[in-house]
Amino acid sequence: MPMLEGASIICFAHDWGGDPTSKTHIMRILAEKNRVLWVSSIGMRRPSASGRDVRRLLTKVRVALRGSRRVAPNLSVFNPLVLPFPGTPGVEALNTTILSSSIRYLSRRLGLTRPILWSFLPNVARLVGRLGEGMVVYHCVDEYSAFAGVAREKLQRMERELIRKSHVVFTSSEELAQERRAYNPQTFFVSHAVDVAHFSRALASDTTPPPDVAGLKRPVIGFFGLIAEWIDLSLLREIALARPEWSVVLIGKATTDLTPVRDVPNVHLLGQKPYEALPGYCKAFDVGLIPFRLNELTRKANPLKLREYLAAGLPVVSSDLPEVRRYERLVRVASGVDGFIHAVEAALEEGTDTARRVRVEAMRSESWEARVDELSRRIMAARRREPGAR
């Protein structure tokens, strides 16, 4: 069945920019044959007085004043300006009015007719029916109510309302699907995917490790991604102290306190790197790590980096997550300091060229294009099932 074509899509997601996420990959592909308006984050938590939150708020104001901008031939990005007090009834009503009016105006300007309201955020139920949409898709990629700083019960209520109003619901993990299916039987698990062509460049002879990792002592045990509260930095500290001959490399933006690993000589905090540079860093890694804490949020997560490591040919050692277990043939699952150390030592024995290529080939069928085809098939089936969804 062909990919969705000729549709208009209003996508609610995170702020545009930074490293591509599942949302970015999906919408970029859909924009090849459809018109997409990407609405950047409308916020799920109240900002604090922290410097980081104040800077982010000022940035959002500055960007919002620019209006919408085109980032690809059929893909425009809109950064709305809303009052940052989610869950407050009067504020919610005002934000809904502002958002619906501005999005309807942009839709007319961009020629979007009877659009699909496709939300990756759980808090847009108030907008359903106010955007002239012909269909509602909720695409859940996290247990949003488990994030720090959100009003858990209010967010759960908003999400359940959106699930009930949706023609189809997608989730990125089976656990997320099982829970949401109770509110909408048209709920489907559609896993994340990977850009194999991009990450398999780690195996190319002309790809070289960047200078800040090229000279590190081997083996190099690496992680890339958002360094947030779900990353077990205490675990990484203990691993690094127990194996001082290893280089532990952390790449990514940090939104949590890095104190546990700052004073460890063989832990290297390299900060955020461009997506284009990641294959070179993967070439420098001997093992890719997914050192997640085990909690409600991570148990329902599906780490994007799992397939990216594998597409780069890397052996992987991960915390014991349900979605990682699906790849037990390719990944070593571990818990605790000793468990991780033993798993890494075993993984280091699997660094042959043959083993690397086996991992890459295993990812060939998990392309983003294949996932978008699957999503399209479900959406078109929902259109046939629901006469009002057009």
pLDDT, tens digit (0-9, with 9 covering 90-100), for 250-281:
999 999 999 999 999 999 999 999 999 999 99
Cβ pair 139, 14 in contact under 8 A: no
What's the mean per-residue pLDDT of the chain?
A: 91
Determine the pLDDT at residue 66. 53
Give residue 180's pLDDT.
98
Instruction: Please say if the pLDDT value at position 208 is more than 90.
Output: yes
> Is-contact 169 184, C-beta < 8 A?
yes
Q: Which two tokens stand for residue 190?
A: 């559609």
What Å distances lie between residue 2 and 115, 325, 367, 369, 382, CA to CA? 19, 31, 15, 11, 15
Give phi and psi for 328, each to the nearest 5.
-60, -25
Assess whether pLDDT exceeds 90 at residue 236.
yes
Sign of the alpha-carbon dihedral angle for 85, 88, 93, 96: positive
CA distance 14 to 320: 27
Check pLDDT > 80 for residue 51: no
At 375, which helix (H) or strand (E)? helix 368-385
The mean per-residue pLDDT over the stretch 39-55 comes to 59
Residue owning tokens 């790449």: 251
The residue among 55 and 291 whose pLDDT is bigger is 291
Tell me phi and psi for residue 11, to 5 degrees: -105, 125
83-131 confidence digits (pLDDT tens): 555 556 666 778 888 899 999 999 999 999 999 999 999 999 999 999 9
Report the C-alpha gap between 307 and 321 in whole angstroms: 14
Do 47 and 54 form a contact (C-beta atoms < 8 A)?
Answer: yes
Nearest to 138 by CA among 157, 158, 119: 119
Question: Domain coordinates of the chain in residue numbers?
Answer: 8-193+367-385, 196-362
Share of the chain above pLDDT 70, in %: 90
pLDDT of residue 57: 42
Buried b (16+ CB within 10 A) or exposed e, 85-119: ebbeeeebeebbeebbebbeebbeebebeebbbbb
What whole-number distance in Å separates Cα of residue 286 and Cα of residue 166? 44
Please check whether the domain covering 196-362 is classified as CATH 3.40.50.2000. Answer: yes
Instruction: Tell me the per-residue pLDDT of 274-325, one tens digit each, with 9 for 90 and over.
Output: 999 999 999 999 999 999 999 999 999 999 999 999 999 999 999 999 999 9
- Which residues have CB under 8 Å from 308's CB, separation 6+? 194, 195, 199, 278, 282
pLDDT at residue 43 tops 90: no
Domain spanning 8-193+367-385, CATH architecture: 3-Layer(aba) Sandwich (3.40)
Q: Is the pLDDT of residue 200 over 70?
A: yes
Q: What is the mean pLDDT of residues 18-26?
A: 92
Q: Are the folds of 8-193+367-385 and 196-362 the same? A: yes
CB of 196 within 8 A of CB of 312? no
Residue 78's beta-bridge partner residues?
39
Question: What average pLDDT does this structure show over 205-227?
Answer: 97
Residue 387: pLDDT band with limits 50, 70, 90: low
Indicate the SS3 state at residue 97. helix
Rounded average pLDDT over 329-341 = 97
The conformation of residue 34, written as its DSSP 8-state character, comes to S
In this model, does residue 388 exceed pLDDT 90?
no
- The model's confidence at residue 19, banded by pLDDT at 50, 70 and 90, is confident
Indicate if the pLDDT at residue 50 is higher than 60: no
Lowest mean pLDDT among 85-89, 122-126, 140-144, 186-190: 85-89
